[in-house]
Amino acid sequence: MKIAVIRGDGIGKEIVGEALKVLNAVSKKYKVNFNLNEVLLGGIAIDKTGGPIPQETIDVCKASDAVLLGAVGGPKWDNIPSNLRPEIGLLGIRKALGVFANLRPAILFPQLKEASNLKPEVLGNGLDIMIVRELIGGAYFGEKKRIDIPGGQKAWDTLSYSTPEIDRIARKAFEIAGKRGKKLTLVDKANVLESSRLWRETVTEIAKEYKDIDLQYMYVDNASMQLIRDPKQFDVIVTENTFGDILSDEASMLTGSLGMLPSASVGDGKVGIYEPIHGSAPDIAGQDKANPIATIMSAAMMLRYSFNMNEAADDIENAVSKVLDKGYRTPDIMREGKQLVGTVKMGDLIAESI
């Protein structure tokens, strides 16, 4: 099992280190060998090679079975030309591997109920939402331009989608919904955007093949409100790239912290990318403060989706749960009466519980 490892920038280095610790524990327990290859992406790649996505990184990732990724970006690279920014590396590797479906599960650990900003009665006995975000289309990848005009400049980003692009992500979402609560909500802005209207038509057509799935439609502004008002109404949400980016950050807070949400990015190819949904948090980098759980849970998703190691994935999820049960908390989820630990200690505790 070949894993390309991308630590990236900021807290990326630290949190990936903890996920590797946990994978090492899995490797010992199940007597399997993970063949790790570290490659550069983002700001660190700019510093060391002159660009955010070296060819070697693409080659190594393509030749691997999965990619484990931390986070990229930071203020240090904020003033370089936009086509060389660290984020271009992240978008580039997603595109190069063709991972069009980004699965972002927002699950509330019962132990973290008090870390959520929502009232206990809204959370009930837990939350389990799966956001399926389209990852390699839309405004992120459409034509971008800036021109001079009288009075200043004009800039645009093009949000476009084709039927095949919508078709493949919609099928993925229907299939996922079929294995869960059989409810799918398409989030769009079809009252305003033409691209959203194409999403609606296409998804409605595909729904005829998935008669057991209850398909609902919701405008994105309403969806962002409903997520706070009554998150339990959602099972699977499917949406375009930008809306998915925004709604998944929102959903993460329902579960207590941005530091808790993992993700899996998959496509038709064999290589998946596994990364936390949060960014590189430069403000707390190098201080042993970051929560490594989102990355550790991303490693669990890797075992489940790329290596079919369901039992080991369960082990990781149970280990996280056990450590939370014992009251250990990183600063982002810390509450009175709990035991504050740093990034490294949290990783150690989880690895020991495997």
Residues known to be catalytic: 140, 189, 221, 245, 249
152 is in an annotated binding site: no
Nearest distance, CB of residue 174 and Mg ion, angstroms = 24
End-to-end CA, the chain:
19
77 is in an annotated binding site: yes
74 is in an annotated binding site: yes
90 interacts with, out of Mg ion, ligand IPM, none, CB within 5 to 8 A per kind? ligand IPM
Nearest distance, CB of residue 108 and Mg ion, angstroms = 19
| Among 70, 73, 89, 256, contact with ligand IPM (rule: CB under 6 A) | 73
| Among 165, 235, 245, 317, contact with Mg ion (rule: CB under 5 A) | 245
Q: Based on the number of CB atoms within 10 Å of its own CB, is 128 exposed (0-12), middle (13-18) or buried (19 or more)?
A: middle
Q: In the range 230-259, which residues lie near ligand IPM by CB under 6 A?
A: 245
Rounded to 5°, angle at Cα 49 from 275 and 73: 40
Q: List C-alpha distances in Å: 18 to 45, 68, 254, 296, 352.
A: 21, 12, 24, 7, 12
281 scored as a contact of ligand IPM (CB under 6 A): no
- Pick the closer one to Mg ion by CB: 52 or 54: 52
Q: In the range 74-93, which residues lie near ligand IPM by CB under 6 A?
A: 87, 90
Name the closest residue to ligand IPM (Cβ): 87
Nearest to 127 by CA among 145, 146, 106, 147: 106
Residue 327 has, within 13 A of its CA and on its CB side, a CA count of 5
Name the closest residue to Mg ion (Cβ): 245
Nearest distance, CB of residue 274 and ligand IPM, angstroms = 12
Residue 67 has, within 13 A of its CA and on its CB side, a CA count of 33
- Pick the closer one to ligand IPM by CB: 190 or 261: 261
Nearest distance, CB of residue 137 and ligand IPM, angstroms = 12
Q: What share of the chain is helix, strand, coil (3-state, %, to 5)?
A: 50, 20, 35
Choices 224-232, 233-241, 242-250, 285-293; region in contact with Mg ion by CB under 5 A: 242-250
47 is in an annotated binding site: no
| Angle in degrees, 0-180, between the axes of helices 241-254 and 220-229, rounded to the nearest 10 | 10
Choices 5-13, 18-26, 245-253, 334-342; region in contact with Mg ion by CB under 5 A: 245-253
Asked whether the beta carbons of 213 and 182 are under 8 A apart, the reply is: yes
Task: Say how far apart CA 98 and CA 134 lie, in whole Å.
Answer: 11
Q: Locate 177 and state its tokens.
A: 């919904």
Size of the site for Mg ion (CB under 5 A): 1
177 is in an annotated binding site: no
Q: List C-alpha distances in Å: 328 to 83, 85, 314.
A: 42, 36, 20
Nearest distance, CB of residue 245 and Mg ion, angstroms = 4
Q: Report H helices in the chain.
A: 12-30, 43-49, 55-62, 86-96, 120-123, 163-178, 194-207, 220-229, 241-254, 293-305, 310-325, 343-352
Choices 68-76, 79-87, 241-249, 257-265; region in contact with Mg ion by CB under 5 A: 241-249
Size of the site for ligand IPM (CB under 6 A): 6
221 is in an annotated binding site: yes
- Pick the closer one to ligand IPM by CB: 93 or 346: 93
φ, ψ for residue 190, nearest 5 deg: -70, -10
Asked whether the beta carbons of 332 and 259 are under 8 A apart, the reply is: yes
Nearest to 44 by CA among 11, 83, 4: 11
Asked whether the beta carbons of 311 and 354 are under 8 A apart, the reply is: no
Residues annotated within a binding site for NAD(+): 74-87, 279-291
Residues annotated within a binding site for Mg(2+): 221, 245, 249
Residues annotated within a binding site: 74-87, 94, 104, 133, 221, 245, 249, 279-291
**In the complex, which residues of this chain contact Mg ion (CB under 5 A)?**
245
**In the complex, which residues of this chain contact ligand IPM (CB under 6 A)?**
73, 87, 90, 245, 277, 279
